[in-house]
Structure 1
């Protein structure tokens, strides 16, 4: 469907000289957009890891998986609604670092959940704020760091990287959880977050 939408785009001058998005990989790899594409793939790994394995991560801690999901959902809605415009208009290097730091603090709070249940909703709020604001900022970087002729390819690779992280990480995370335990899984999620 992305290919069909690109062909129906109102700017035919770009599409007459444009190669298919898969063939533009080399051009994308030579731009700073590749960092945004890698970042969103790793962000998706963190997102799917924390949400998919919530029941296993909180088992035996006194916390409930629904707590993180509820707090995360409310936080995402409020964070996109309240500071969303401020984030989009802020300097992108500072904003990116800030939202990624919030996301990392959310992951770090998951390590403390066995010690006190209040770290669980704290993790959800920090992670939800950082993650929901990181996506548009990183996407903007992918667009700005690619030339107009390669923008379609950069955005397509951006979505592919997100999908690979979101839907591919649970298989890797499940294997780590079974063979190494939940501390190793949380550490893997933190490594992806860094």
Structure 2
């Protein structure tokens, strides 16, 4: 212990968390830029269907990567694996920004994005489980989600600012690619300090997903939050990934939605960082997700009314933004003690099925039947997820 504690004497626990969350924030902007893909693809004549297909490619890469993320982290270490993932994301964003035709390099960019995000999203919370006690999980999962959400929400705003300053949406991809390289550097640097500050000094437990581990997770109480997050991710993807399309059709500025949504989520998550969901967390989740569903219903009928547009962003931020970290904590708390890492990886896997898979359906619906039927489907999914949480709360 004496040797370990002096390996990085200048890295305090506070600085460690600050640098780790900063690294999470810098790479999170990459996912936020997927919201700009309809705008980017339109610049070279591709429509929302192509966006959906490229995100499907990303989905396949993500699912395969999440399944093997434990194998990679067992082989290279979690922080080194996170660093490699950020480099892959950076290359992906550079390709997106430089391409002008639909072809093999666009598919390559989508594959790299799925590979990188599959690793960063699944391993990020697992690293935290070594640094915090079980009773601190909601608070720290909330904090990590705050930094992820700031990256998600502010990168489209960055794109809007750059466009307003005379640059193109492509420049936002180049800037974010550079930030991902900085993130990779931070993850490399934090490898030893995180081992030093780990609550349990023993080596990392195996993280790989096996058939026995998979059957154990499916048989546990954590199966419900795993299913719920897939539905919720589909709702999120439907509302967020094509928000530029919704806004343009109504003569609104999409940046106002993203800014309002991001500010709402960040403020409420920080204020409620120590909130553990109350005496009945699933009832809290249900209430918040019914608010999320209400926001979508309002959006269906709000038209081009600017105050209602901001209210939709605010309510969606409260509903989805606050319920999400509580749901992550419930997945971790409902998991078997020996399957915590595998449970969080499967949680991430189903999240990405919704996040990157649902846009294929949404893109087809926008082109073939329009935005209103799509929003109705999204509202129904939101109410379904809320009802699942309500039913669990009554048990």
Whether TM exceeds 0.5 here: the answer is yes
Match of 2:355 among 142, 166, 169: 166
The CA distance in 1 between the partners of 2:289 and 2:332, in whole Å, is 19
Q: Secondary structure at the match of 2:274?
A: helix
Counterpart for residue 138 of structure 1: 327
Q: Judging changes above 3 Å, is the alpha-carbon distance between structure 1 residues 99 and 6 closer, same or farther for their aligned structure 2 residues?
A: farther
Q: Which has the larger radius of gyration?
A: 2
CA apart distance, 1:111: 1.0
Q: Judging changes above 3 Å, is the alpha-carbon distance between structure 1 residues 19 and 48 closer, same or farther for their aligned structure 2 residues?
A: closer
Counterpart for residue 17 of structure 2: none
Match of 2:267 among 50, 60, 78: 78
Matched, 1:114 2:303: yes
Provide TM-score, normalisation by structure 2. Answer: 0.44
Instruction: Specify every segment of 5 or more residues in structure 1 that has no aligned partner in the other structure, as ranges.
Output: none
Greater RCO (CA < 8 Å, at least 6 residues apart)? 1
Matched, 1:90 2:278: yes
Query: Please, which moves more after superposition, 6-15 or 105-114?
Result: 6-15
Match of 2:209 among 21, 46, 60: 21
CA apart distance, 1:126: 0.7
Provide TM-score, normalisation by structure 1. Answer: 0.86
Query: Please, which moves more after superposition, 21-30 or 122-131?
Result: 21-30
The CA distance in 2 between the partners of 1:11 and 1:28, in whole Å, is 26
The CA distance in 2 between the partners of 1:25 and 1:132, in whole Å, is 28
The alignment covers a number of residue pairs equal to 191
Match of 1:100 among 257, 279, 289: 289
The CA distance in 2 between the partners of 1:190 and 1:6, in whole Å, is 40
Q: Secondary structure at the match of 1:85?
A: coil
The CA distance in 1 between the partners of 2:297 and 2:223, in whole Å, is 27
CA displacement 1:71-110 (0-9 Å, x = unmatched): 1111111111112323x25221222112212211221221
Q: Judging changes above 3 Å, is the alpha-carbon distance between structure 1 residues 22 and 135 closer, same or farther for their aligned structure 2 residues?
A: farther
Counterpart for residue 32 of structure 1: 221
Q: Judging changes above 3 Å, is the alpha-carbon distance between structure 1 residues 60 and 159 closer, same or farther for their aligned structure 2 residues?
A: closer
